[in-house]
Structures are given as structure tokens and as C-alpha cells.
Structure 1
Amino acid sequence: MARLTPPRPLTAEDDRTTFDCGREALNNWFWRHAWHNQEASVSRTSVVCDTQAGEIVGYVSLSAAQIERAWLAKSHQRNRPDPIPAVLLGQLAIDWRYQGRGYARSLMFFALTTAVHLSEQVGCFCVLTHPLDDEVRAFYGSFGFEELPFDPGRSMAIRINDLKHNGIGTNLRTDFG
């Protein structure tokens, strides 16, 4: 079994070229854009690495976002600003050699915990994501993400208050290492 680092910020020295999650869009974004977005403060990418092999096992990227109030369920629109502030979970991927070991789940908990902690400093209503396909949609759904009922792009979100209610954000511990 691999020995993993806890999630940490992506650095310029990290070798992204060997990462392959099996999904071209996620690989290309990571290879071409992750570091540039990090440098420009557009998004923050955290990586988990195999300490023995010295390679990136997985990554997750977070950034600020907003949602059109009209995309929410009517019960969540009342007395809300327009647009509504959110945290965007842009990408989450695990190298194919490490898939099936629960690392994606651990990275998801890290991302959600980070979002809850951020919400204590900067207001945000939810964590937003744009799943690539129905398989990814089911993965996010297993964490409580729901489709935004009126979003033509079929984005999914989970409310920060629901995360707090379920105990997410009480600490930053993950199952890595």
C-alpha cells in the first residue's frame, strides 16, 4: 500500500506529466492549467503524493464562484443575494494506478472541510461543481450534492449549512498517510 502525504498545495516543482486519471479533460487541465491558475490565484490545487514513488496520486482544485439565484430551488431563493457566493470544486481526480482505494473520497472530504473553514471567513452558500458525466454525478450525489433544479448546465451543489450539520469541517483530518 502506498504511503501518502496529506493534501498540500501544488508547487512548480511537482511533476504533473506522469499523472493519468483516465479522463483526458482532467489530465489536460492538470498538465496545462493547474500551475498557471495557482500562480495567478485563479484557483488553488491541492495534491496528494506517494512518498515512496514520488508521484502525484490525486488532486483537487477549489476557487471562488457564484450561482444565479434563479438556479436554486424556490425555497433557497428567498432573501438571498443575486448572484449567490459559492466555492467551486472545479476538478478532483485520482491517478488510475491508485483508483479504487478510497483516495477520491478522502480528497472530497478535504475539499468540503476546506470549503466549510473558508465559509467562516468569507461568506458562501454552497460548494458548487460541474460533473463531467453521470458516473461523476453519482459520485458527487453520494456526498449529498444535488442538482441545481433550474441550471441549464446541470451543476450540482451542497449547502455549507448542510455540511456543518453533518459534522464536516470539525477538523482537517483526512485518511491519507
Structure 2
Amino acid sequence: MPTAEFLPLDPSAINVQSFNCGKDVINTYLRRYAAKNMALNLNRTFVLPYIPEALTPKQDSGKSHVAAYYTLALQTLMREELPDPSRLPRYPVPVILLAQLGIDRRFHRQGLGAKTLVHALRHAYQIASNPNGIPALGIVLDVLDQEALAFYRSFDFFLPLTDNPMKLFVPMASLETL
């Protein structure tokens, strides 16, 4: 069973190699790039750890495994790319990119996808609304596939970012009550 708390990825305490959400690109990102990108200060990955109940001694490294994860990064967009650009400056505006989100197959269909998404959105909101944080107009998602698009569309607050239906946006203001 997963712990109750998402934590920053710590490769010395978390076994990322066992993660399998069924999507190679999401698996590969966590396994190969998440820690490297954090070390380069490009983004932050947060994991929901768990300890498997039945591990053989050969499989038990003393590390927790990943039930779910998400990655946040900063990005800028031109005002023309945003749903309501009328009051925005003519230079790029900051947004937070929800760059990755994955749920291990062992936890599919248990509500963990919604829990992870809500946690990521709340976290992004806290970053943007904190006086000591980094301001951002909203959150952007580059959606991986049709299955992910259906998942995100099941939440009422996402707007299309562009003519591309695989790019979504949620204004920070709409997350105040989340």
C-alpha cells in the first residue's frame, strides 16, 4: 500500500526501475531522466512510495518502490497561445508544466490517478500563490495519448490550450478551491 505522502524523488531511497505504468515513455522518463533533470535543476519529480508486500530477498534492495509520480517544471508561453490573452503583456508569461504523471499498473483503477493529479495541481497552485514562490498564470499539460486525454477531460477545469486537443490549460484562479 502506498504511503500517504508524495516526496521529492530521492534515487538513494527509491527504486525507480520497478515502476511500470504500461506506457514506455512515462516509464523511461522516471527510470532514466527524472533524477538527472532534478540534478540539473530543470524540474522536480515527486513520488508516492510504497513497499511491496511480497519481495524475494533478491528483489529487496531496502528501497521503496513508486506507486505514482508527477513532474513539475516552469515554462513560458506567448500570450497568443493562451485561452484569454486580452489582458496579458506582449512578452512570454510564466506557467507551470505538468510534464509527467504516471501510476504503476499495480495501482490502476484504484483512484490513484485522480489523487496524483489533484496533488500535482495543488502543489503547483501552492508554488504559484506563495509570496516566496514563483508566480504562474496557470498549468499546462502536454497530453500523451487519447487514454490520457479522456482521463484529463473527466475533470471539468481543463481548457484547450491551442487548436491541438493534446495541449490543455487550467488557470491558477480556477484551482483556488481544489
Structure 2-normalised TM-score?
A: 0.85
Aligned length: 162
**Which structure would you say has the larger Rg?**
2
After TM superposition, list the pairs within 5 Å mapping 1:1-177 onto structure 2: 2-13=1-12, 14-53=14-53, 54-73=64-83, 76-81=84-89, 82-120=91-129, 121-143=133-155, 144-150=157-163, 152=164, 154-164=166-176, 167-168=177-178
Maintained 8 Å contact 1:38/1:45: yes
Maintained 8 Å contact 2:144/2:166: no
How far apart, CA to CA, are the structure 2 residues paired with 1:157 and 1:17? 31
Maintained 8 Å contact 1:5/1:50: no
User: Are the structure 2 counterparts of residues 27 and 3 from structure 1 closer, same or farther at C-alpha, using a change threshold of 3 Å?
Assistant: closer
Maintained 8 Å contact 2:2/2:48: no
Which deviates more, 93-102 or 117-126? 117-126
User: Are the structure 2 counterparts of residues 61 and 3 from structure 1 closer, same or farther at C-alpha, using a change threshold of 3 Å?
Assistant: closer
Say which SS state the counterpart of residue 38 (structure 1) adopts: helix
Instruction: Give the CA deviation at 1:142.
Output: 2.1
Q: Percent identity?
A: 25
Instruction: Encode CA deviations 1:58-84: one digit per residue, 9 max, x unaligned.
Output: 1100011112211223xx111213312
Maintained 8 Å contact 2:149/2:166: no
Instruction: Encode CA deviations 1:84-114: one digit per residue, 9 max, x unaligned.
Output: 2100000000111111111111111111111
4+ residue runs of structure 1 moved beyond 3 angstroms? 51-54
Say which SS state the counterpart of residue 100 (structure 2) adopts: strand
RMSD, aligned α-carbons? 1.6
How far apart, CA to CA, are the structure 2 residues paired with 1:17 and 1:103? 20
Which amino acid is the alignment partner of residue 145 of structure 1?
F
Maintained 8 Å contact 1:5/1:51: no
Select the structure with the greater relative contact order (CA < 8 A; seq sep ≥ 6).
Answer: 1
Instruction: Give the CA deviation at 1:27.
Output: 0.6
How far apart, CA to CA, are the structure 2 residues paired with 1:158 and 1:35? 27
How far apart, CA to CA, are the structure 2 residues paired with 1:50 and 1:91? 19
Q: Where does the alignment leave 5 or more consecutive residues of structure 1 unmatched?
A: 169-177
How far apart, CA to CA, are the structure 2 residues paired with 1:106 and 1:138? 16
